Each structure stands twice: as structure tokens, then as C-alpha cells.
């Protein structure tokens, strides 16, 4: 009976999660390789999307920013973003690419990409990860904490976060495009590390403009994929019953 109960629990778990999508860093190491030689894993249960940042060779000393193109419209550049929390909010500053000291680095997104929302993860210093709806020329609209864990450390092997599809404007579970940057929130010094784009020119730095040349896509698995996982679970359960 215990075996059957465990199998049923496993089957229930299969129906409530999708396969993980793993996106590797771009291979660069201008800030020590923490993101460039790391990866981002995304998975969902149909309502909540969960992420895991696997740290590369460096320490997580700076701000990991994910820009989402999830609804129509959006911003093609950070040039009009003025929200740095009045110089006191590192997460808002990182998203705007406008340092808490007022230094700007303009980030231009790839052709066809319009950023609607952004997440900033700063595990040490700000000790916070949050999601904002982007606003040009004003304060970004805070949506929710993304439950970043752990905080207070730069050396954990992995960092996790989560949010709902509805938090990025999707009424039901749906795909979206995204791109990741990694920068110093204090002075908007942009590293050459990220996910979804490449560069061979070293750290872009600050005080200028940098064009991202790509993005990634998260695709919610089709119902057929879920059906296949469920069928596999049912088959395993049947085999266990026959062995009793």
C-alpha cells in the first residue's frame, strides 16, 4: 500500500509541472564568469513560473536583470528609464541601467523585442529580488517579490525565485521572450555577461549605449507533452501493481 501511495504522489507531481528549460550564459567572464559561465533554468506548473540561477565561476556580487517581452507594446531601450529609487534602490537602478549614483548606460534591445516587465535579483546588499512593470520617465510599478533565496550570500551554488504568469500580464500560462543582463547597480557598469545575447568586445561599461543582439524564448509545453508524462506515470503504476 505504501508503494502505491508513493507512486500516486509521483504521478500527481508529474501532472503539476513541466520539463525544465535551461538557458546557458553567453560564455563571457568580464565580471568573473558568475552569469556568463552559469545558467538559468525555468519551469512552470501552469500558474507559477520557477527559476533557478546556477552560478558560474564568479561570486554573485552584482545585479541579475531579466527583461520580459510578454504582452504587446513595450520598450525598445532603457534610455527613457529614470527610476533609480532616488539613488537608494539598487534593484530599480539595475532595471533602469541608471546607477544609484546617477550614471547611465543605455541598453538597446534586439530588433522586435519590447520589454514590458523586469526582474532584478540582488542576493547580497539589497538582499532582494522583485518584479516591476516598466515605466518610461517615472517610477516603475512594483508588482511583487519573487521570493529570492538564498540572500545574504554571494557564493551559493544556486539561487531560486518564482512568480505567476499573471504577474507579467499573461492571463493564462503562455510563452514569452526574455533577455538577461548583469551589471553593477551602483554605477550602471554593464558586464559582458548575460543570457540570450553575445559580445566579443569585453564589458560595455557605462556612460554610453550598448545594443543587445538577441533574446531567448520560453515555451509552455503543449498539452500533448503533459499527456505523455501522465501516460508514463500510469504505466509505472500499473507495473508496480502487477509486481505485488
Q: Which domain holds residue 117?
A: 20-220
* 110 and 11 in a common domain: no
Whether residues 2 and 57 fall in one domain:
no
Q: Do both 66 and 168 map to the same domain? A: yes
Mean pLDDT, the chain, integer: 89
Residues 72 and 46 in one domain: yes
Q: Is the pLDDT of residue 3 over 70?
A: no
> Are both 170 and 204 inside the same structural domain?
yes
Counts of helices then strands in the chain (DSSP H, E): 3, 13
How many independent structural domains does the chain possess?
2
Q: Provide the Cα torsion 205, 206, 210, 216; round to 10°.
A: 70
3: number of Cβ within 10 Å: 12
Compute the distance between CA of residue 67 and CA of residue 47 in angstroms, rounded to an integer: 19
Q: How confident is the model at residue 17 (pLDDT cuts 50, 70, 90)?
A: low
Residues 168 and 233 in one domain: no
At 129-152, the pLDDT tens digits run 999 999 999 999 999 999 999 999
Q: Which residue has 540582488 as its cell numbers?
A: 122
pLDDT score of 7: 45
Q: 127 and 81 in one domain?
A: yes
Amino acid at each position: 500500500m505504501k508503494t502505491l501511495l508513493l507512486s500516486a504522489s509521483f504521478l500527481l507531481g508529474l501532472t503539476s509541472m513541466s520539463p525544465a528549460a535551461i538557458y546557458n550564459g553567453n560564455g563571457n567572464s568580464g565580471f568573473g564568469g558568475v552569469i556568463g559561465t552559469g545558467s538559468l533554468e525555468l519551469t512552470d506548473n501552469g500558474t507559477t513560473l520557477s527559476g533557478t540561477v546556477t552560478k558560474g565561476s564568479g561570486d554573485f556580487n552584482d545585479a541579475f536583470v531579466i527583461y520580459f517581452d510578454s504582452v504587446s507594446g513595450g520598450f525598445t531601450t532603457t534610455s527613457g528609464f529614470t527610476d533609480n529609487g532616488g539613488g537608494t534602490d539598487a534593484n530599480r537602478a539595475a532595471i533602469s541601467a541608471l546607477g544609484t549614483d546617477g550614471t547611465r548606460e543605455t541598453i538597446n534591445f534586439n530588433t522586435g523585442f519590447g520589454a514590458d516587465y523586469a526582474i532584478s535579483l540582488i542576493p547580497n546588499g539589497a538582499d532582494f529580488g522583485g518584479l516591476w512593470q516598466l515605466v518610461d520617465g517615472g517610477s516603475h510599478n512594483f508588482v511583487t517579490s519573487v521570493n529570492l533565496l538564498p540572500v545574504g550570500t554571494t557564493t551559493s551554488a544556486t539561487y531560486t525565485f518564482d512568480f505567476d504568469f499573471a504577474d507579467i500580464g499573461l492571463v493564462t500560462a503562455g510563452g514569452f521572450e526574455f533577455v538577461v543582463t548583469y551589471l553593477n547597480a551602483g554605477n550602471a557598469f554593464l558586464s559582458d555577461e548575460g543570457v540570450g545575447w553575445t559580445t566579443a568586445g569585453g564589458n560595455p561599461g557605462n556612460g554610453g549605449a550598448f545594443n543587445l543582439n538577441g533574446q531567448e524564448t520560453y515555451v509552455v509545453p503543449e498539452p500533448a507533452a503533459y499527456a505523455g508524462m501522465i501516460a508514463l506515470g500510469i504505466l509505472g503504476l500499473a507495473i508496480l501493481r502487477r509486481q505485488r
